[in-house]
Amino acid sequence: MNSPAKQPEPWNAKRIRRVLKKAIGVPRYLYVQFLNIFNSNPVYLWLFRNRIVKNFNKLYYYLRKNTFDHTYFMGKHVLKFPTDLWTYQEIIFEKKPDVIVETGMFLGGSTYFFAQLCKMFGKGRVIAIDITLDHLYPELYELDNVTILRGSTSDPETLARVRALIQPHETVMVALDSAHESDHVFKEIQLFSQLVTEGQYLVVEDGIIADTYPIVWNKGPYHAIKKFLKSTTEFIPDYYRNRFLLTHNKRGYLLKTQNKAEVIMPNYNDTLRPLRLWLPYLPAFNDMRWLKSLNQNLERSEKEKL
């Protein structure tokens, strides 16, 4: 008896989806594996590190609705990248300035941050200046280690008012974050750099906007920083403070020092680290003893660090 002829499966949505999944699955798997290997390739990281960093900084800035516009310290909005806040924390702890002078407060979130750090570290007070005090968090007025001034920071009169609040023996650090036009920032740097004492930092913020909005901000803070550094030997850009890669303050952490050896470059030798992730999986390297011992050594030193 003849068996009934098998009916061909109709080309319905279900069948199309199944066939596509099969067809795409394998190349997609290979592609993902390729990306995994390629992106963690030390040569790629070494060649394109600067570009990756620049693009990630841009991305972080452009997605500001998720990132920059919603960054809080103790519930107060601060207009800074978290990595820069951490860098400030490290600097203030290390240098323990008597006075932190901050220009540009807006809501005062950063002023609040500096003041709370000073309290936590048991030393320091903040003098903060803005051309308008309309947007400040009211809690700022309750802090006993904050002095708030209204005035323009490109005006020598404002500098004189700040100077009058500082004792000659006090150590001073300055953070500039007011208007971002190059001429204003340059004037501000020229005025407020005078307050910085030896061994302390002058932080000129927002150099990154030359990358994020090059047409508008080509002549922004970065331009002013370059101009200032050409005119002085007192300050050195401390790139170690940019070592977290994500930063608003490109070339903006300027250390006042006569001792150039004090400034150390960040060490990016770790770029080679991915080698240990993927080399062992290549058959040619599979039973190389040196690689195994390298892995063991790395694991041991990591455990010791913990």
Name the residues that contact ligand SAM, by CB under 6 A. Answer: 78-80, 103-107, 109-110, 129-132, 152-154, 177-179
Which of residues 66 and 132 has its CB atom nearest to ligand SAM in the complex?
Answer: 132
CB-based contact 247:84 (threshold 8 Å): yes
Q: How far is the CB of 247 from ligand SAM (least distance, A)?
A: 14
Judge whether 116 and 74 are in contact, CB under 8 Å.
Answer: yes
Cβ closest to ligand SAM, residue 92 vs residue 236: 92
Helix (H) or strand (E) holding 125: strand 125-130
- For residues 305 and 299, what is the distance between their CA atoms, to the nearest angstrom? 10
Report, in Å, the least distance between residue 156 CB and ligand SAM: 13
3-state class of 272 per DSSP? helix
Q: What size, in residues, is the chain?
A: 306
Q: How far is the CB of 229 from ligand SAM (least distance, A)?
A: 22
In the chain, the largest separation of any two C-alpha atoms, in whole Å, equals 112
Q: If we measure between CA atoms, which residue out of 104, 113, 101, 103 comes closest to residue 77? A: 113
CB of 132 to ligand SAM, least distance (A): 5
Query: Which CB atom, from 189 or from 236, has the smaller least distance to ligand SAM?
Result: 189
Identify which of residues 109 and 274 has a Cβ nearer to ligand SAM in the complex: 109
Contact between 198 and 258 (Cβ < 8 Å): yes
Which residue's CB is nearer to ligand SAM, number 124 or number 274?
124
Nearest residue to the partner ligand SAM, using Cβ: 104
Q: How far is the CB of 240 from ligand SAM (least distance, A)?
A: 22
